[in-house]
Amino acid sequence: MCKSQIIESLLKKTLQTVERILANSETITSPSFYLLTPSGMERLESTCMLLIAIGEGVKGVDKLTDKKLLSFYPGMDWKGVMGMRDIIAHHYFDLDAEIVYDVIKHDLPKLKDKMCYSKS
């Protein structure tokens, strides 16, 4: 697989992961949902795993394009997307359900829009 195909594949998988999180969290109306039941905690944990995958995908694209491709799509906190991965992976026990909820409800729709725009 050539470099451009790898980048395209990473972008596609990352977008699919964003869409999966958004679909899985449509009915969640409060950060407390994650904390009230064991199944809520499982949803939080699985969502965090997918957020790690999104951060990895964006980091991979950034690395493969020598930090050039993402700069063509301003208005998105790409550093924040990559940083969220690091926070979850390295500070897992300090996770805040409110922050994860906020990312899902406010940042992921923007990321989806930006990634869909980049496909066109």
Q: What CATH number is associated with residue 46?
A: 1.20.120
pLDDT at 17 over 80: yes
All residues at 6 or more sequence positions from 83 whose CB lies less than 8 Å from its CB, including other chains: 55
Phi–psi pair at 91, nearest 5 degrees:
-130, 40
Number of structural domains, the chain? 1
**pLDDT (mean) for 7-31:** 96
Cα–Cα distance measured from residue 44 to residue 34, given in angstroms and rounded to the nearest whole number: 6
Q: Residues 20, 85, 91, 106: which is the catalytic one?
A: 85
Which residue has tokens 């790898």? Answer: 6
In this predicted structure, what is the pLDDT of residue 118? 63
What's the pLDDT band for 70 if we cut at 50, 70, 90? confident
In this predicted structure, what is the pLDDT of residue 79? 92
Give Rg (Cα) of the chain. 15
Active site residue 20: no
Active site residue 43: no
Residue count of the chain, please give it: 120
**pLDDT (mean) for 24-45:** 95
Cα–Cα distance measured from residue 19 to residue 16, given in angstroms and rounded to the nearest whole number: 5
> What is the value of pTM for the model shown?
0.91
In this predicted structure, what is the pLDDT of residue 89? 92
In this predicted structure, what is the pLDDT of residue 71? 84
Identity of the residue numbered 10: L
Domain that holds residue 56: 3-119
Contact assessment for residue 97 and residue 34, using Cβ atoms and an 8 Å cutoff: yes
pLDDT at 63 over 60: yes
